[in-house]
Amino acid sequence: MTADVSIRNATKDFGSFRALNDVSLEISAGEFIVLLGPSGCGKTTLLSILGGFLEPTSGTVLIGGRDMTHVAAARRPTTTMFQDYALFPHMSLLDNVGFGLRMRGLARSERHRKALAHLDLVGLRMSASRKPHELSGGQRQRVALARALAVDPDVLLLDEPLGALDLKLRRQMQDELKAIQRRVGTTFVHVTHDQEEAMAIADRIVVMNQGRIEDIGLPTDIYMRPRSLFSAGFMGEANFLPARIIGAADGEVRVETALGEVLLPAAAFAAAVPPAGGRITLCIRPEHFRPAGGAEASVALGRASIIDSAFFGGHHRCHLRPEAAPDMILTAHLPQTAQPRTGDLIDLAVAAASVVALAEAPASTQGDPQ
Ligand SMILES: Nc1ncnc2c1ncn2[C@@H]1O[C@H](COP(=O)(O)OP(=O)(O)OP(=O)(O)O)[C@@H](O)[C@H]1O
């Protein structure tokens, strides 16, 4: 089974502190949604409201079209998988996975059949009689997933389930989690503060900050077309270049920056182009810098000197100081074949189609055109 989920204007106050602030979110049946954001932004609070462990101060939660706002956790068609898998140490894997089914009164033979099928799903059928302590961390995590899915929830809620695993295992489990979700088709809502994890597994990512949703969309949309400075900065690395609108005409917008005037396509703007004089910020990903004079339409940003560089295999990561704004430092990824040396001067340009213009001033005024 699978179900769609609708959260409408959910707010949660703890005393005078607002942990969740008027959050609305529609999730389609079978979607893999990731709630992404820094510690304390309200991810777990939202997940707990979905799972029935917390009641919202105001707002509603619908699952499969039914109002669940005041329904207890045990009576919801959801299962929550926490970071500490809480497997029963004295029980076999088969009994661990079958535990929820026993609680629901399923006959022993049916319980075993379902538990075995779910151990099979996570590749542990051959280990059914083993105990949790005989397993690796990744295997224990798979057992917890099998146990959560064995009770056929409409929606599986996952609170940082990979948080305790080392990086390599974590990446491997992300692939497995995604593959298993595809096979079972259950709606997954997964919490993490790891943006790479979010990109690896999500159908859609919900970026949260200070109790609010900042951005929502496909991983590629959030990375390539972020809708806020916070979202752009949290999803990977970005250079923020303060700018001021000069004027717009014929689908192009002229803006003034500390690196000179540049002409942007109107499509660079996430929302309506502000009027002349309006302050904006240009977001440029490090990998979008180009050697000037290339074939694609590019925006020239003058010359810059290389402060330092490090080789990352696929690219060189360089810090650059623009000649026109010596107090500014930009981060650029130069091609693998480049041979950047400290002190070298390069002509800076950025692919016009990759610049994102946001109608927000950055927190710092570094490089602000006055
Ligand atoms: N029961 C509570 N009483 C008071 N404040 C709370 C309570 N639960 C959460 N908070 C606060 O609400 C805010 C959001 O907490 P929440 O656990 O949702 O954050 P999170 O995004 O999941 O963070 P993390 O990634 O660290 O788990 C935090 O500032 C937290 O201190």
**Domain positions in the chain:** 5-232, 237-355
* pLDDT value for 107: 85
The minimum-distance atom of ligand 1 relative to the CA of 208 is: 21
State the burial class of residue 325 (Cβ atoms within 10 Å of its Cβ: 0-12, 13-18, 19+).
buried
* pLDDT value for 170: 87
The amino acid that residue 56 corresponds to is P
CA of 40 to the centre of ligand 1 (A): 5
pLDDT tens for residues 22-65? 999 999 999 999 999 999 999 999 999 999 999 999 999 999 99
* pLDDT value for 114: 92
* pLDDT value for 243: 95
**Does 157 have pLDDT greater than 80?**
yes
* pLDDT value for 256: 95
* pLDDT value for 97: 93
The minimum-distance atom of ligand 1 relative to the CA of 48 is: 18
CA of 99 to the centre of ligand 1 (A): 30
Residue nearest to atom 1 of ligand 1 (CA): 14
Task: Determine the Cα–Cα distance for residues 285 and 237; give it in Å rounded to an integer.
Answer: 6
The minimum-distance atom of ligand 1 relative to the CA of 35 is: 21
* pLDDT value for 238: 93
The minimum-distance atom of ligand 1 relative to the CA of 191 is: 22
- CB distance 19 to ligand 1 below 6 Å: yes
pLDDT tens for residues 293-334? 665 667 888 899 999 999 999 999 999 999 999 999 999 999
State the burial class of residue 341 (Cβ atoms within 10 Å of its Cβ: 0-12, 13-18, 19+).
exposed
Q: Could you give the percent of the chain with pLDDT greater than 70?
A: 94
CA of 24 to the centre of ligand 1 (A): 18
Task: Determine the Cα–Cα distance for residues 46 and 54; give it in Å rounded to an integer.
Answer: 9
- Among 102-106, 178-182, 239-243, 364-368, where is mean pLDDT lowest? 364-368
Structure token pair of residue 219: 């991983």
ipTM higher than the 0.90 cut: yes
* pLDDT value for 1: 56
* pLDDT value for 365: 45
Structure token pair of residue 128: 């059914």
Q: Could you give the percent of the chain with pLDDT greater than 90?
A: 69
* pLDDT value for 328: 94
Task: Determine the Cα–Cα distance for residues 28 and 95; give it in Å rounded to an integer.
Answer: 32
Residue nearest to atom 6 of ligand 1 (CA): 14
pTM metric for this prediction: 0.90
CA of 21 to the centre of ligand 1 (A): 13
- Cβ-based neighbour number of residue 29 at 10 Å: 15
CATH number for domain 5-232, candidates 3.90.1150.10, 3.40.50.1860, 3.40.50.300, 3.40.33.10? 3.40.50.300
CA of 46 to the centre of ligand 1 (A): 10
CA of 170 to the centre of ligand 1 (A): 24
Q: Read off the pLDDT band of 141 (50, 70, 90).
A: confident
pLDDT tens for residues 196-221? 999 999 999 999 999 999 999 999 99
* pLDDT value for 335: 87
Domain 237-355 coded CATH 3.10.20.30: no
- CB distance 356 to ligand 1 below 6 Å: no
Task: Determine the Cα–Cα distance for residues 58 and 344; give it in Å rounded to an integer.
Answer: 58
pLDDT tens for residues 162-172? 887 888 888 88
* pLDDT value for 370: 47
- CB distance 16 to ligand 1 below 6 Å: no
Please, what is the average pLDDT of the chain? 90
* Ramachandran region, residue 176 (left: φ > 0; alpha: ψ -120 to 50; beta: rest): alpha
- CB distance 14 to ligand 1 below 6 Å: yes
